Structure 1
């Protein structure tokens, strides 16, 4: 007597299929959809959206989406410089298209506001991003 239906066994091979990155592009100045794109432009938008959305704030996103940067505001500079890279890497850890985050450079363009620029290496190329706390 067979336990599994005929033709079903444990020797089935699973194939991983990459999902396309084709997405609607947002024109941030007009706050309207400005077309569609894929590849590096779509990744740039994904990176921006991850950085702009605070984790756990919006129920529409899962708990592993977004960043945790807001509570760094007002902290000591040394603490921010040590913690910010870890939090940015953690924010991108859920996206398999992002390979690494590196080259963190901290500057204080405005007194009391620390800016950090960094490179995001993706499967489509490298982006340079900046956040301020």
Structure 2
């Protein structure tokens, strides 16, 4: 009887092979109507990516227990505070990128612009996803 465990390299090798061969998770999810706050039908592919972009940017990071600390955006920390317009223009692209890039379906986030009009902020971002390029506008 040995004090050290048996070498389990076969199990580790099988696990690593399975991880390399893993297929991406399906993106089929419920369709959210942000205008009236209702759920109806299903959405998949590019439409699911567009919905994810809106939802991730509008959700406050670390605010809701149902989500991990990786999900959501920190833009609410800028809204309503006495910060300069140049600071907002510098921070919003970084915050939007951080909110979106952690998703496995998203390869890159670029061309993030923010326009402030009264109490609203209009954010536009171009997202390169596994389904192709998507340009989405989000109003906060």
TM-score bracket relative to the smaller structure: 0.7 to 0.9
TM-score when normalising by structure 2: 0.78
CA shift at 1:82, angstroms?
A: 0.9
Structure 1 ranges of 4+ moved more than 6 A: none
Q: Residues of 2 paired with 1:121 and 1:11: CA distance? A: 33
Secondary structure at the counterpart of residue 107 of structure 2: strand
Q: Residues of 1 paired with 2:125 and 2:40: CA distance? A: 27
Query: For structure 1, which segment, 99-108 or 118-127, has the greater mean C-alpha deviation from structure 2 after superposition?
Result: 99-108
TM-score when normalising by structure 1: 0.82
1:6-85 counterparts in 2 under 5 A? 8-12=10-14, 13-14=17-18, 15-73=21-79, 74=81, 75-85=83-93
Pairwise CA RMSD: 2.5
Between the two proteins, the alignment pairs up a number of residues equal to 131
- Alignment gaps of 5+ in structure 1: none
User: Which residue in the other structure is 1:96 paired with?
Assistant: 104
Q: Residues of 1 paired with 2:114 and 2:65: CA distance? A: 32
CA shift at 1:83, angstroms?
A: 1.0
- Alignment gaps of 5+ in structure 2: none
Answer yes or no: is 1:130 the counterpart of 2:137: yes
CA shift at 1:29, angstroms?
A: 2.9
